[in-house]
Amino acid sequence: MKGSVVSEAAGAILGQIVEGALKPGDRLRAQKLADQLGISRFPVGQAMRMLAEQGVLLSDPGRGFTVANDAPRLARDVENGRPPDDVLAVYFQIAEDRLSGDLPDHVSELSMRDRYQLSRGQLTQLLNRIAAEGWAERRSGYGWTFSTVLTTPAALEQSYRMRIAIEPASLMEPGYFLPPDILRQCRDTEERMLDGEILTSNADRLYERSVRFHEAIVGASQNSFFLDALKRVNRIRRLLIYRSLADRSRYWQQAAEHLQILKAIEAGDLPLAAERLKAHLDGVMKNIPNMRPLLEGAQRRRS
């Protein structure tokens, strides 16, 4: 695999082009980009060279790189054409196998490496992540045990009750502050959703957007315990929910509710926002039984 920092940098540049922060003709400063990303100039330079080869940037020897004329169009293609993360794919595969009962409760690392064709490093990376998310743990002695708890549909409801406990509470934190630009960004996103993106986006992206909204709201509490807990819930929820996203009808209502919450926050009426947020989550939770059939018909989807 090419250096991960390089591809990270490339992704960031592409993102800025797609979002319009960089326009055709703009010159790229390596140091500035590096500072933005918290890395050194070197991988930034490599990323720029890579993108120049693909025509997104123009190389101007001795003076660095500028954004090509048809970059915005190309950038989208290049972004889509980037290779998917193999390890992440296996992560979902494991979750899938667990949910469908293909993977036993107790496994050795060797059997996992064998089954999913992973190097030692990749496997420990994966298992550590899974352990951190709480759905597997090291046994004393050898091997790992998967917890059964999180594979049941009930866990999805539990995740919502947890969110109902923490999300409205986070709005009542002293020092709650949602920066105006983030508020605007959230609102723009919701409006774009209502404007048609609900129909054009794929399920993953819809989930991602919803998560980002809620994490932005909770993150503004300045209380990292709340945000951290929410992030963890969401990561697990993703495993449980992604089968059930086919039904888009509720997204219209959700976007409207999100906007109402933002309006209350903007008006400085945090108790009202908290109330609306609670009602919103309640509504979503109440709807779980409707999608439960999807959850239970566990079937492998990835090749």
Site of interaction with DNA (CB under 7 A): 1-6, 27-31, 39-43, 45-46, 59-65, 108-111, 119-122, 124, 139-144
Contact indicator for 123, 113 with CB cutoff of 8 Å: yes
d(C-alpha 67, C-alpha 274), whole Å: 44
Nearest distance in Å: CB 296, a copy of itself: 19
d(C-alpha 143, C-alpha 151), whole Å: 20
Nearest distance in Å: CB 229, a copy of itself: 4
Q: Which of 186, 184, 175, 183 is nearest to 210 (CA)?
A: 186
DSSP state of 197: I
Nearest distance in Å: CB 286, a copy of itself: 14
Sign of torsion over alpha carbons 23, 85, 150, 142: negative
Residue closer to DNA, measured from CB, 1 or 199:
1
d(C-alpha 199, C-alpha 259), whole Å: 18
Residue 110 touches which member of DNA, a copy of itself, none, C-beta under 5-8 Å by kind: DNA
Nearest distance in Å: CB 232, DNA: 23
Residue closer to a copy of itself, measured from CB, 94 or 150:
150
Edge-to-edge order in the sheet of strand 57-59: 27-28, 65-67, 57-59
Site of interaction with a copy of itself (CB under 8 A): 4-5, 8, 37-40, 43, 128, 132, 134, 139-141, 147, 149-150, 155, 158-159, 161-162, 164-166, 169-170, 173, 223-226, 228-229, 232-233, 236
